[in-house]
Each structure stands twice: as C-alpha cells, then as structure tokens.
Structure 1
Amino acid sequence: MPSRPRTAATGAALAAAAVLLCPAAAEARPPAPAAPSWSAAPTGPARTSFYLEGPPGTALTDRLAVRNPSGRPVTVRLAGAGGDGAGAWLALAPDRVTVPPRTRASVPFTVAVPRDAAPGSHPGTLTVTDGTPGAPTRIPLRLRVTGPTLSALTVEHLAVIRRGAAAVIRYTLVNRGNTALRPRLALRADGLFGPLLRRPARPLPGVLGPGARTDRTETWPDPPALDAVDVTLTATAAGGAQDTATARYTTAPWGAGAALLLLAAGGGGGAVRWRRRRTARAAATGGAVPDGGAVPDGGCAGPLERPGARPAGGARPAPEPARPRTAATTTTTTTAVTTGSGVRA
C-alpha cells in the first residue's frame, strides 16, 4: 500500500528534527545557580538565630560558625542589616573570612548598644554571602535592651481652621517616652448651648516610635455658624500614656460681628466725649464737678453758691452760653476679627 512508506518517512523526519533541536534548546536555557558549598549558622547546637540582651551602653558578643565541606577554599563576607536596630549596631572585626577546605571557622562579632538606646526589642539581621549569584544567607539577630520603660504621649499645636462649610482640626502627636506606641484618639466639641460633636476613641494607623512625631488632621463636616466652641482631643496609648489638648473655635456671621463691634465702639466713644465736656466746663468756671455728678448737655458746672452771694469784684460771672445741639450721627464699620485658631468671624 503506497501510504505506509510515506507515513514512515514523515515519522523519521520528525524524529531527526527533534534530535537536532533538543541540544540547541538545552544550550539556550540559562544554567541554574549552584547551591553554595558552605553553610553559616550561630555556634551551638540547634540555634537558628542570635539572641542578645543587655542594658544601654554595653557591648554584647556572640559567634558565627561558617562550615566549608568542599575541597577548595571559600571566602565569605559578613554584614549587618536592620535599619536603626541591632543590625546598625553590629561590629565585625573581620568582615571578610576565608575558610580552608573541609574546615569550620568561628567568627566573633559584637553588638555595641548605644547609651541612649530605648529599652525594648531592636531586631536586626546578619547576612553572609560568597559573592556568587544567588540570595545571601540571612540569620535573624534578636536584641533586647533592658531597663525601665516609659510611655509618654503629648498632643501639641492644636488648631481649628474653617474650610468652606467644614472645619479642619490640625494637631501633632509626639512620643515623649522610650517605647513604641500605637495611639488612640478621641474628639469632642462643646458649644455655648451643649455638646456639638462626639467621636469615641479609635486607633490611629501606624506605630509612633520613641521620640517620633506625626502631624495629623481631623475633618468636622458641619460646624456651627454662630457659636463659641471648645474642641478637645484626647490621645491614649498602652502603658498609661495619655494627654489632652483644647482649642477655642469661635464663629459668627459678618453682620453679627460688625454689630457687636459697633456697639462696643459707640459706648466707649460716648463715655470719652462726656468726660471731656465735663472737665472743660469745670475748668471754665474755676470749680470742680464732684465725681458721679451729672452734667446736663449744654449746661455748666461750678462751685455751689449761697443765695445772694457774689464773687469777689461784686459781679456775677456771665453764664456760659448754651451750645447748640447737633443731630447724632452713626458710622457703620465692618471689622473682621481673627481668633487664635485662624478662623475669621
């Protein structure tokens, strides 16, 4: 049958093509990184991490074991990692070690705890690498600084600022202690006629480290248009940390504020004018007006006389002519008053 030889030839061609293509595909694939022939771990049996503990200002030591079971020397490099914790305080006398074949090397290192280190946990990492491609060996370094702990938290720079129909409450939280804190915040606002806002304590995002500060804001969507409000923030954290701050927030429509200012200015100006008229009339007549005495507008004041008495010279002084009355005038002034919180009323 003619179809069989053709099928056999086709199968043979495919097999030959597969044989020719497989070596090329194998050569194109990048070789997998070889596993390191050495190992690094803390000295001692069944240790997978370092644990050190001591007070501030001390030097804590430990050892790293590097094993080389291969038949050639291995050079490894050591370094600390971990931000501002134990990794940054790690001191390595030799940061590069060459281990002979089929040998184990014991490498000492020191963690110098700063004198101002806060008590508590300060983790880090000790990394070991031989410079070849591949991930380095990372060994956890757990450091605990002993000593009394202090949890202290303050609320600072509290201010309330009007933003359109809403108000923005700005404040700063400062960690004054030596332990990391997770603050909680409660908010309340009380006006002249009672409570206006109540927000129970809730946790804030993030952790506040020792000595750290963060600027935050709270939004008050519907503050009153005419009121004097005391806004109070209370921050708390574990360990008994707590602080409270209060800011006065005053709002008033423009017309009401201007009327109050005019009322105050008019009353003060009238008192000053009356006092000046009283002093001038007393000086003109040579007498004095007793304190609390009322002087009618347009009249005069002088010393009291007995009936029929005449001053020296035999002539009665001519009475002071009455001053013509003028119509009262009113001046309207619009003044913008800025409160301590930056809100204009």
Structure 2
Amino acid sequence: MPVPPSPRRSGALLLAAATVATVLTCGAAAPAAADEPGWTAEPVAGSAPTAAKAGTRPYFYLAGTSGTVLEDRLALANTSDREHTITLRGADAYNTAAGAFAVRSAKPAAGGGSEGPVTGAGVWISFGKGATVKVPPRTRAVVPFTVTVPPGSPPGDHPAAVVATEAGREVGVRVHLRVGGPALAALTVEDVSVRGKGAAASVTYCLVNRGNVALVPELAISAEGTLGKVAGRSIRTLPVEVLPGQRVELTEPWPGAPVFDRVALTLTVTAPGGARATASASAWFVPWGIAGATGLGLLCLGAVAATALLLVRKRRIRAGDGPGPSPHGSAVPAEAPAPEHELTGAPR
C-alpha cells in the first residue's frame, strides 16, 4: 500500500527548547461529549500529497537509514474546561490474530514483568523531557519527539506507535517507520479449510508475512468440482495490512459453494512488490438429510436382498437331502444297479 511521506529530518537534532511542549490557545472548540475524555492525540498537520484538504495525517510516516535520528510532532488538543495531564511513550506494534493493528501494552503482567515489553522500534521513540504534558483547558499542545534508528538496524518496515495515556485511557497513533535498504515482499498461505455449505460456506486460511515490508494483499479463489466448474471469488483487496513477521487468520465468504460435489480449491494471494503465494484444499459437499434418507433406503433394500438369498439357499439345501423314510416307518429300498454285461465278442 503506498504510504504518503511526511516532513522529516535526519542527522543529529538540537532540541534545546524543543522538548518543551508548545501550547497554543484553541479556537472556539466545541464542548466535549459526556462520554469523551475531553482530549485528542494526532499528528501535527502536514503537507502529504494524499492528506485531506485540512492537511491532517492519519499516522506518522518516517524513513531514513540506520544510524540516523528522525523527528516529528504530536498534537494534543484539550477541548474540555479542565486541565489534563497526559503521559507519552513509544510502543511496538503488531497484528492481532484477526489482522487488526495493535500496540503492546505497558501494563505489568500479573506474574511480574511487562505485558508488552518494548523491544522493537517502540524503544527508538523518545519524547525527552516532554514525556509528561499538562494541557490547560481549551488549548492545543504540540509535542516534538525523535526516532533514533540504531546503527545496523535491518532494512524494511518497523511498526511502532506513539501512545498517549491519562487515567487508564490510552490513545495510539501509528508510526510507519521504514529503514533504508533492500525491500523484500514475500508471503505464504497456510491452513486452508472450508466451513459450512451452500450460501453459508466460507474459506478460512492464514497469511504469513515472510518479508520485511508491510503488505496489503489481494485474494482470488478458483474452484473445480467433479461435476464441472464451480463459482469461486474474483480478485479483491483484503481489508488488512499484514506487518512483517506477522501471522493473521482470515475468513472469506464463499456463497458460490455447491450443495453436492467434491471441490478442489485454489487460493491465490498477491501483494505489491511482487509477492505471490498459492495454496490448495479439497472439500466434500453432501446434503446430509438426503444422503441419510438414501442411505437408510439402501440399507433396507440390502436387508431384503440378503433375506431372499438366504431363503433360496435353504430351499436348495432341502432339495439335495434325498428321499426320507416311508410312511410305514420302513426305509424305501434303494434301486438295484443294472447288471453289467461282459463284452467278449462271442455271440450269445
């Protein structure tokens, strides 16, 4: 997925006073709703080509080579009538099992340690002395931060986020960080299976990003049955971005599945950068109600046929037993064999 660049700087940064939040008085801001905390966090408006007319950015985009320092700015807007004290930190990002973008939590785990230790790009993010910001009512604070890319960092995408926290509420803003170097787009499709039947059928599968850049894949499904071609799914973009090294489990509706057939499925997944993968699976579609009734009928027919064969066999056995005793209780004498004549050639 093309990502719009944002203003960035590399090299050493002199942040003498930049670590102190710049507080600006907000205009006539609308009062916050009752269920809202009264503050927001978002990137400072930039001039990205795909940004909205107002210049807003949905996330941070930073790029540079290993060993450089990048910078950007976060805007905290207080729309309420009281002061808010907000804590800022960097966090690693990952995909949930369903493919959503998520960040590691900083809350301690029940058994000690950290529920989401910062070991990736999240630890590269620093707010310096501005990690805790007091935002007066109806004001907007602009907080600079830096991203220090360690020397020798591998090339590719390093998912991270800036997280703002107050009173247990966290707001994360994605940081799309790319380290310069060769980009590898690679993925695999695994664990393909079919669930349901008919219009309620679906195909479940796993996508694994084997490369070093985030991918937004496209999926196509083709199907071939023993009774002929089966309707699959035309190519479409999946509503998920798979981060490097992540594995997501997805389900694709398949309303064209047959009611009765054996089908061979082929899933083809592609992504920008030349990534392509295929996987196959087979599935039986049997209307079990009809199959059960048919099976019961065949079973009954088989029982009738077996009984008939048994009766025929018994009759044949009785016919081969020979004559029984006479009505007067004496045995019927056996018929005497015919006399044999010796052939001597002499006339008699």
**TM category, shorter:** 0.3 to 0.5
Q: Compare CA radii of gyration and give the structure with the larger one.
A: 1
* TM-score for both structures, normalised by structure 2: 0.42
Q: Could you tell me the TM-score, scaled by structure 1's length?
A: 0.42
More helix by share: 1
